[in-house]
Amino acid sequence: MKNKIPIKYFIATFLWSWCFWLIPIVLNKIGIISESNVYMSKLAFPFIGIGAFGPMFGAFLSLRLAGGKGAVKNFLKPFLSLKFGWKAWIMIFLILGLAAFIAWFIPELFGVERIKPYIPFYIFPVYLIAMMFFWRRPGRIWLERLHIAISGK
């Protein structure tokens, strides 16, 4: 079978990401965001986060166009499977907790003051759930599985 380049995936990913990433710049130009570093504004942060889901949007759109109505559901089944034991759950929370602890306290060891977080504390559970469901495998899995779905291999 002929090897296809997933052009729809790249176009959808690019458009989704850059449409959201350019919004803070436009808001700066019209005076709504007046900070010197546009991307450090609290108003810009949600747009940056949503724009980061461009590869996922491109994969879902390409799967839907290539495989029909049930393609995305079949694609997500292994990602949404929670069939692992209690030891894995403990490891998830220990690793994430340890990583957060290290990232929060390491600067103080070097005499640097902690920065004020840009994300409110109540957003963390949303990100945690998103990581557990969509970040269980390497990032390339989206592109690899999309290529397999499109090429039929």
Q: What is the pLDDT of residues 123-140, one digit of tens each?
A: 667 766 666 666 555 444
CB atoms inside a 10 Å sphere around CB 9: 24
Express each pLDDT in 8-38 by its tens digit: 889 999 999 999 988 888 888 888 877 676 6
Q: Which amino acid is at 114?
A: R
Q: Is the pLDDT of residue 72 over 70?
A: yes
Query: 39: which DSSP letter?
Result: G
Residue 78, phi then psi, degrees to nearest 5: -65, -30
Q: What angle do CA 82, 84, 87 make, to 5 degrees?
A: 130
CA distance 32 to 81: 43
Q: Which residue has the higher pLDDT, 40 or 10?
A: 10
How many CA atoms are closer than 13 Å to the CA of 147, on its beta-carbon side?
9
CA distance 51 to 21: 6
Residues whose CB falls within 8 Å of the CB of residue 56, separated by 6 or more in sequence, listed in order? 134, 142
The reported pTM is 0.52
Extract the tokens encoding 1.
């079978």
By C-alpha distance, which of 35, 48, 42 is closest to 117? 42
